[in-house]
Structure 1
Amino acid sequence: MSAVTTTGRTDRGLPAPMLVGGAFVLSTVANIAFQAGNILFTDNDPHGPEGPIASIVSISAVGGLALAVALAVALPLVRRPGGAKAGAIVLGALALVAVPFFWSGAPAVFGATAAWLAGLARGGQPQSGAARAFGIIGIVVAILGVVAVFAGNLAAIFG
């Protein structure tokens, strides 16, 4: 069975809103929830430097900004094949550049949005060349970003 139908649209995978929204929820929102749990269930000083409150503020700001930028780039470009190709490349590159900020969920959001524009989401028009490569890189970065958020927080809890 082929992943592409005769119309040229991808018929497997997650729909674009679930792909991008899921990346945001599983990285940014989950990390905020871990920090809130740190406040609620530990005796750590939440107001300390690099404490949970400061972390919540920085995660929210950077993660929210990444989502806004990703959608601002993607929404106008997704309907035009040439625009979608350029957007996939730009957002895939942003996912790689944002890797040091994995704690915010920014790389996951940029990567998932690059995958969407590259046609890797259900109903998407599959792209070729560099756009497809950056879409694949983007989805890998998104998955690794989610794993890093959960692994880092679970290691902090149990380690």
Structure 2
Amino acid sequence: MSYTTSSRTSRGLPASLLVGGAFALTTVANILFRVADIVFTDTDPHRPEGPVESIVSISVVGGLGLLLALAIALPLRRDPARSRIGAIVLGSLALVSLPVWWSGAPAVLGAAAAWLAGLTTDGPPSQPGAARGFGIVGFVVAVLVVVAVLVGNLSSYLG
């Protein structure tokens, strides 16, 4: 008697939810916290390094991170060999971009690396070796940046 199992198992979130969620929970949330600073405080929004300057820099850097992630991931997602290379490149970019964590760019790049490494339900097949490692690192970077943005902003407003 033999038992058959499905070769494809559910691996988590869809890619659009992972990448879009990373963007929304970092870049968009950070912009909304700056808008809240303008609306709910009496401080000058045009002060140096104030909310207006922050909104501009977060929008530009976070938007470029999203565009870069999609420009790399979308053409490479269909071919497993090319997906492997894309996962390594995007995972590396997520690590290199950590100094601009406040923009959300590392989270989006890391989420796209996880997508190309096959860690999503609708992504390419699960990648072996370095590509899988960079996908996992990218996913961890995405989670850590989301936590840093949300906890950092909430603690600054509540503390």
Question: How high is the TM-score relative to the length of structure 1?
Answer: 0.94
The runs of at least 4 aligned residues of structure 1 exceeding 6 Å deviation read none
| Structure 2 residue ranges without an equivalent (≥5) | none
Task: Give matches, 1:140-151, under 5 Å.
Answer: 140-151=140-151
CA distance in 2, matches of 1:19, 1:72: 16
Q: Post-superposition shift, 1:11?
A: 1.6
- Give 1 or 2 for the bigger CA radius of gyration: 2
Question: How high is the TM-score relative to the length of structure 2?
Answer: 0.94
1:84, 1:117 within 8 Å by CA — same for their partners in 2? yes
CA distance in 2, matches of 1:42, 1:100: 28
Q: Post-superposition shift, 1:154?
A: 1.0
Q: Could you say which residue in structure 2 is the equivalent of 1:19?
A: 18
CA distance in 2, matches of 1:12, 1:137: 16
- Structure 1 residues 5 and 22: alpha-carbon distance in aligned structure 2, compared to 1, 3 A threshold: farther
Q: Post-superposition shift, 1:61?
A: 0.2
Alignment coverage as a number of residue pairs: 154
CA distance in 1, matches of 2:41, 2:9: 46
Task: Give matches, 1:45-124, under 5 Å.
Answer: 45-124=44-123
Code of the residue aligned with 2:14 in structure 1: it is P
1:92, 1:138 within 8 Å by CA — same for their partners in 2? yes
Code of the residue aligned with 1:98 in structure 2: it is S
CA-based RMSD of the aligned residues comes to 1.2
Aligned-residue sequence identity (percent) comes to 65
Task: Give matches, 1:27-46, under 5 Å.
Answer: 27-46=26-45
CA distance in 2, matches of 1:93, 1:129: 15
| Structure 1 residue ranges without an equivalent (≥5) | none
1:87, 1:117 within 8 Å by CA — same for their partners in 2? yes
Code of the residue aligned with 1:153 in structure 2: it is N
1:10, 1:123 within 8 Å by CA — same for their partners in 2? no
Q: Post-superposition shift, 1:10?
A: 4.5
